[in-house]
Structure 1
């Protein structure tokens, strides 16, 4: 149940030069209204928009153009 006080809050880690790490499972709702779901225990969300697997990070941020 969402917002259940007995549940631990989700942990989100923001990294200066990389993705946002979110404890999963997660559902990401994109700008166009579509959803992406991952049941992994930690997911990396792309913040640079270079990822070929957006919204998931594929480490494309490491290659500087």
Structure 2
């Protein structure tokens, strides 16, 4: 089993790689047909949501740079 990676791509999708499953809000699993990598839409323009279909090209600009989150709050 490989470690799951999420890669936030510049002006594009969230690429997910590794051992994963994706469920809808009701807990139904999407049939991924053995894929070990795919793109998740983050622009909202895909006709195939939650998966990326490339509809964002030339219409979506969002560059995410990694940073450290603040410590979690504890009671």
In terms of Rg, which structure is larger? 2
Tell me, which stretches of 5 or more residues in structure 1 are unaligned? Answer: 1-6
- The structure whose RCO (Cα within 8 Å, separation 6+) is larger is 2
Two-structure CA RMSD over aligned residues (Å):
2.3
Aligned residue pairs total 58
Larger relative helix fraction: 1
Runs of 4+ more than 6 Å apart: none
Larger relative strand fraction: 1
Tell me, which stretches of 5 or more residues in structure 2 are unaligned? Answer: 61-75
